[in-house]
Structure 1
Amino acid sequence: MANSEIGTSTSNTLRDEYQVFLSFRGPDTRRGFTNVLHQDLVYAGIRVFIDNEELRKGERISGNLLQAIDHSKLYIPIFSKNYASSHWCLRELAKMVENNSKSKEDGKENAILPIFYDVKPEDVKLKTPLYRKAISNLKQTREDHEKKFSSKDIKTWQQALKEAGGITGWELEKYPGYVKLIQEVVEEVVVRLKIRQRSVTGDLVGMEARIASIKNLLDIDSLSVRLIGIYGMGGIGKTTLAKIIFNQLCPRFGRNCIFLDDVRETTKKGLVKLQKILLFEISYSRVAPNIANIDDGINKIEETICNKKMLIVLDDVDEANQIQKLIGKKSLYPGTRILVTTRDKSILNIREFKYQFEDYEMVQLSKDDALKLFSRRAFNDDSPPADYHTLSKGIVSTADGLPLALEAIGSSLFGEEEREIWEEWLEKLKKTPHEDVLGKVKISYDALNPDQQQIFLDVACFFIGANKTNPMYVWKDCELSPKISLKVLIKRCMIKVLDDDIFEMHDQFRDLGRVIAKKERTRLWDKDDIICELRSTEVKYSQI
């Protein structure tokens, strides 16, 4: 096994969870087909275990290989002419088949995706002499030399070959070359692993009708181009709705789908940066695209997206020109769907634009749904206890049906048994203007202890989209009790930690944190502010 190869797509330990395990006969396919497949999977953001058969020493490695298979979700055996002549390949295959059978019983999503490189399924199913002869040679090897495997092992391998050969896969001989085949394999893996899908957390109360309305507008089976704009105030659930729709439609578009988060905030760093992100994702380029300026970016994006059916979501757009500069002005490919979320409906009316948006207004939750969402957070139930019903309805009425405010307030009150504290919350909320969303969520911030507030501000200013590992070390050294503090912040819906330990935060909480940090003058994260502060400091020192 060659850890140097694994390092291209995973960390160098077998304890990491792999997503795909490649099983192949090195001399047959490594230098060409397998190498390209491996690279394309990695560039698609997939963690791949690739074994170096030639560097194995002794039998001990076998245990590590089996462990790597256990940690993978998808298995891709590449059947070539000499695959069955390797007892290592057969061991791997037997373990894949065993895990695949267990996963069906356990309700998991493991799967074998076979590739028939220069053989046919009939060869693998031992219906032709090719693999039968290879197995016969292994039997002879066992008799003539050391007994590295038993006759029982051979029977297990034969059964594994028959089962794997019966699974529908890809036959290279049916393709003009392996480029198209590899593209299809990567697309299938992306869909099965839900690589493109977005994390959706929280209680999806009142979403069913909204999802149905957006799907009706998208008319996904039509070959026409559809552009849908979801508009409404911050904290009302636009991004959550867009993520749900995106996740449900991703399988229909394979690799040709992208969700661009937080366009409003990212644009502050320049539209070219966003264009590069978009182009990198949709082109599956192995290197970051070189974009000279915004017009160059538009041209390159148009060249790419006009030739394929795309699903593109632009989240939190605040200017019409952002849309034009991210999807261009040329005709889009038939069947393409563009979904935009915004707080400002007027940006959906773009002058001299080839297409028109159909708009969808996100309205507040109904009183019943608002009470249900609040109750789930505050009481872990769909309705409040009888003795808290009136008080809960009063608190809910101050949130104006905004899911973000309802979740934040409910989570902050969860487990709170002193009725006086509930009444204090209600009084504070009543004093906050109805349109002041930041004011409502700031009450949740004020209820945090100083350590929790510091960590909240750090994430809001510096660590959205960052891995939590390094910040945790910093906070620990600063004696901020990061594990306890994060647990509280997550429970109160003020911070989210995704499956890959990446920090995520709703834009309203982010905006709140940055407003507070600017007032306190405790943190600098904006490039212009940093330059201004440094220049101010230089002036002060020059006057001394």
Structure 2
Amino acid sequence: MENSEPGTSTSNTSRGEYQVFLSFRGHDTRHVFTDILHQAMIDAGIRVFIDEKELQLGEKIRGNLEQAINNSKLYIPIFSKNYASSPSCLYELVRMVDKSKEDEKKVILPIFYDVKPDDVKSNLEQKMEVWKNKFGPEDIKKWRQALQEVGGIGGWEPKKDSGYTELVGAVVEEIVVRLKTRERRVTEYLVGMEDRIVAINNLLDIDSDTVLLIGIYGMGGIGKTTLAKIIFNQLCPRFGKNCSFLEDVSKMTKSKGLKTLQEKLLCDISFSGVACKILDIDHDINMIGETICNKKMLIVLDDVDEAYQIQKLIGEKPLYPGTRILITTRDKSVLNIRGFKYKFEPYEMVQLSDKDGIKLFNGLPLALQVIGSSLFREKREIWVECLDKLEKAPHEDVLATLKISYDALEQNEQEIFLDIACFFIGENKTNPMYMWKECKFYPESAIEVLINKCMIKELDDDSLWMHKQFRDLGRVIAKDQHTRLWNIDDIIDIFNSTEGSVQALHFNLRDSSKGSIIVTSEQIKRFPCIWFLSLCEVDCQGDFTGCLSELKWISLDYDCDISPRPAAAYKISLDRSYAIPPRPAAAHHQRFEAASAWHLENAVVLNRGCVESFWA
């Protein structure tokens, strides 16, 4: 049986099996009830099979009709005055009963349209005299048994003087709950989610009639969306049709516009294709507000990156008691909306514990998912090659996800992020703050932005922390830009090359097997844009005067137990200095070749207490 009408579910077979099979007597109910119910299910996104052509008397169920019954999950027979007068309806009913016995997940949900169960059975008995010469006793026996069984199932009946709107709404809501059509697909065998689920459920306090808004924030790929999906799936049955999950809000807003998301939200909560057609964003805000303020809602806005997106999707009217709103974001600051009626309860999604991290191989679920799929190979040799490649460079898909946060930064914020990734992880922030201020990077606000976006953390001892995956991202970007150097081999290579765009350099030989290396003034002069220079256990030779005009911070760090050299051996001139630290123990000294001279304009000097001539 085929239905060629556009917009009906029979035209959507490419999307998979049918979810609902409608069985009805066309002459009784098609244009007064069944079509209304059918359209309501279509609006709710339910794949429903509806028959356009009734079987002729004596005709058996055709192949595609039987297949539709076999594949459907729910069966809705609409019993009417003449339902039992149709052999096709009775054949369908028998098949539905058989399938529900074979598979307990397949359920019959009868509707009694202006009849009682006994009325349907009586109608069948009246037809027996007419049919006894056309149908075998086995068919009639099965029809009687099927009517007997389905008649004992509790079903719906239209209420007098109430029309069909209330009944249709009740049927659709029951179908949505049973089919779990709103549930989101979640990866199986999740690690480390139990405690987080408990924490969110405690914040939601689902039995309370208050309105609660929860903001789940954390770095990209750490599992915020997965957690929100789990919570949404758990709560869907309690909210029925009054729930909506809007995924990738940031991406969808940029690609298709916020209006598309507003229409999706309205369609989800109204079950009406008409209600989804709106004029503009502001018009939609009013429609959303009028709709959700009268219902207890469950709404998830996933991956929000701007506060206005929340305002335009939730509206500004008071929400109905018991409503729950969940937001996931990489930027904690979007949860602080000026003038917004409600406050978000923040929940930080942190990396997994050491125990769970071992199970997952690292603290970032996205990384395992992406890298694991790339390692799905049969040959051991390919595994070895992939692992060797990953040791040298992080996976591009993981970096692409994290780079979304980097691209959203202002330039000064990007510069500080790259500095931390390359040089200052685990370091106290005090000293680099002086440098960033001199560079006009406005570090106070920039650091706050990076913390809100979960790209760094500031620990209790004022040291800076960054997730390994973000560190790898920062270093890949810096290496591509040729702006920051920290790898010894890269530094040696570029020192022997032509002029470069290097802005910051950390040359550390303390734990290196390279032995003694001399840095000459001629080499340094090739890089006039350097504003951060850190040399650890590196010998310097030559006259450096005037070659570091852009320098903002120099760190000269040596461990040697030799007597102080004469002041003449340390020719360092400072035009301006900041926050001079206390003079350290005399055992720490700088080591320069005699006659090395440094003229540092506007420089902040770290470890300057080690330079004896400074206090001479």
Under a length normalisation based on structure 2, what TM-score does the superposition of the two structures give? 0.61
Pick aligned residue for 1:298 from 276, 285, 300 = 285
Q: Which has the higher helix share?
A: 1
Contact 1:14 1:64 in 2 (8 A): no
Aligned residue among 189, 197, 200 for 1:214: 200
- Matched residue, 1:428: 392
Q: 2 CA distance for matches of 1:412 and 1:62?
A: 47
Counterpart residue type for residue 251 of structure 1? P
- What aligned pairs does 1:67-466 form with structure 2 within 5 A after superposition? 67-104=67-104, 109-121=105-117, 123=118, 130-143=119-132, 145=133, 147=134, 149-173=135-159, 176-201=162-187, 203-268=189-254, 269-287=256-274, 289-374=276-361, 396=362, 401-415=363-377, 417-418=380-381, 420-421=384-385, 424-425=388-389, 427-429=391-393, 438=399
Per-residue CA deviation, residues 53-88 of structure 1 (Å, 9 max, x unaligned), is 547487255444222211211000111122112221
Q: Which runs of 5+ in 1 are unaligned?
A: 124-129, 375-395, 443-507, 520-544
Could you tell me which residue of structure 1 aligns to residue 439 of structure 2?
none
1:490-530 deviation per Cα after TM superposition (whole angstroms, max 9, x unaligned): xxxxxxxxxxxxxxxxxx9xxx9xx99xx9xxxxxxxxxxx
Deviation at 1:276, TM superposition (A): 2.2
Q: What CA distance in whole angstroms lies between the structure 1 residues aligned with 2:103 and 2:308?
A: 49
8 Å CA contact 1:14, 1:68 repeated in 2: no
SS across alignment from 2:276: coil
CA distance in 2, matches of 1:237, 1:116: 47
Aligned position for 2:25: 25
Q: Distance in 1 between matches of 2:39 and 2:33?
A: 10
Following TM superposition, by how much is the alpha carbon of 1:417 offset from its aligned partner in structure 2, in angstroms? 2.6
Residues 349 and 22 (structure 1), Cα distance of their counterparts in 2 relative to 1, 3 Å cut: same
Provide the secondary structure at the position in 2 that maps to 1:140. helix
Q: CA deviation at 1:97?
A: 0.8
Larger mean Cα displacement after TM superposition, 46-55 or 306-315? 46-55
Q: Could you tell me how far 1:337 is from its partner in structure 2?
A: 0.7
Give the CA deviation at 1:286.
Answer: 2.0
User: Quick one: which amino acid aligns to residue 405 of structure 1?
Assistant: A
Structure 2, unpaired ranges of 5+: 404-468, 481-616
Does the CA-based 8 Å contact 1:3-1:12 persist in structure 2? Answer: no
Of residues 210-219 and 232-241 in structure 1, the stretch that sits farther from structure 2 once superposed is: 210-219
Change (3 A) 1:410 1:77: same
* AA aligned opposite 1:135: L
* RMSD of aligned alpha carbons: 3.0
Higher relative contact order (CA 8 A, sep 6+): 1
Q: Partner amino acid for 2:391?
A: E
CA 1:22–1:6: 2 relative to 1, 3 Å: farther
CA contact (8 A) 1:190 1:196 kept: yes
* Deviation for aligned residue 1:373: 2.5
8 A contact 1:18–1:71 mirrored in 2: yes
Partners in 1 of 2:136 and 2:12 — Cα distance? 32
CA contact under 8 A between 2:267 and 2:276: conserved in structure 1?
yes
Residue 358 of structure 1: SS of its match in structure 2?
Answer: strand
Q: d(CA) in 1 for partners of 2:182 and 2:199?
A: 23
Deviating above 4 A after TM superposition, structure 1's stretches of 4 or more consecutive aligned residues are 12-16, 53-58, 439-442
* Partner SS state of residue 216, structure 2: strand
Q: Is the 8 A contact 2:19 2:72 kept in 1?
A: yes
Q: In structure 1, how many angstroms separate the alpha carbons of the residues matched to 2:354 and 2:154? A: 51
Which moves more between the two structures, 273-282 or 82-91?
Answer: 273-282
Q: Which residue of 2 aligns with 1:524?
A: none
Distance 1:44 1:440, change over 3 A: closer
Find the residue that maps to 1:169 and give its secondary structure: coil
Structure 1, residues 345-392: CA drift from partner, whole Å, max 9, x if none? 111111111111111110101222222224xxxxxxxxxxxxxxxxxx
- Partners of 1:56 and 1:4 in 2: how far apart? 19
**CA positional deviation for 1:15:** 11
Counterpart residue identity of residue 34, structure 1 = T
Residue 441 of structure 1: CA displacement? 8.7
Deviation at 1:139, TM superposition (A): 2.0
Identity percentage of aligned residues? 66
* TM-score normalised by length of structure 1: 0.69
1:493 aligned residue: none
CA contact (8 A) 1:206 1:365 kept: yes
Name the structure 2 match of 1:386. none
Tell me the distance in 1 between the aligned counterparts of 2:402 and 2:283: 41
The structural deviation recorded for 1:11 is: 2.4
Deviation at 1:18, TM superposition (A): 1.2
Partner of 2:3: 3
Q: Which amino acid aligns with 2:385?
A: I
Residue pair 1:2, 1:55 contacting (<8 A) in 2 also? no
| 3-state SS in 2 of match to 1:171 | coil
Query: 1 CA distance for matches of 2:401 and 2:32?
Result: 59
Contact conserved, 2:285 with 2:313, CA < 8 A, in 1? yes
Instruction: Give the secondary structure class of the aligned counterpart of 2:245.
Output: strand
Per-residue CA distance 1:197-234 (angstroms, 9 max, x = gap): 11112541111111111111111111111100000000
* Mapped contact 1:175–1:181 kept (Cα < 8 A): no
Partners of 1:310 and 1:333 within 8 A in 2: yes
How far is the alpha carbon of 1:172 from its aligned partner? 1.6
Instruction: Tell which structure's C-alpha radius of gyration is larger.
Output: 2
Mapped contact 1:370–1:406 kept (Cα < 8 A): no
Q: CA deviation at 1:243?
A: 0.8
Separation (CA, whole Å) in 2 of partners of 1:175 and 1:251: 30
In the alignment, the residues of structure 2 paired with residue 423 and residue 4 of structure 1 have an alpha-carbon distance, to the nearest angstrom, of 53
Q: Which AA in structure 2 matches 1:36?
A: I
Q: Which amino acid aligns with 2:307?
A: A
Note if contact 1:118-1:173 (Cα within 8 Å) is conserved in structure 2: no
Letter in 2 for 1:264: S
Query: Where is the strand percentage greater, Structure 1 or Structure 2?
Result: 2
Contact 1:316 1:340 in 2 (8 A): yes
Measured in 1, the distance between the counterparts of 2:122 and 2:390 equals 80
Which stretch of structure 1 is more off in the superposition, 239-248 or 274-283? Answer: 274-283
CA distance in 2, matches of 1:240, 1:161: 45
Q: Deviations over 1:254-280 (max 9, x none)?
A: 111111111111111432232222223
**Would you say the 8 A contact 1:405–1:441 is kept in 2?**
no
Q: For residue 413 of structure 1, what is the amino acid of its counterpart?
A: L
Aligned to 2:435: none
| Comparing 177-186 and 273-282, the one that deviates more | 273-282
1:373–1:335 Cα change, 3 Å: same
Instruction: Tell me the equivalent position of 1:464.
Output: none
Q: Distance in 2 between matches of 1:290 and 1:114?
A: 33
Once the two structures are superposed, what CA deviation does each residue of 1:470-509 show, in whole Å capped at 9, x if it has no partner?
xxxxxxxxxxxxxxxxxxxxxxxxxxxxxxxxxxxxxx9x
Matched-pair contact (CA < 8 Å) for 2:60–2:91: no
Amino acid at match of 1:438: L
Q: Report the Cα offset of residue 283 of structure 1.
A: 2.1
Q: Aligned pairs, how many?
A: 405
- Note the C-alpha offset of 1:440: 9.5
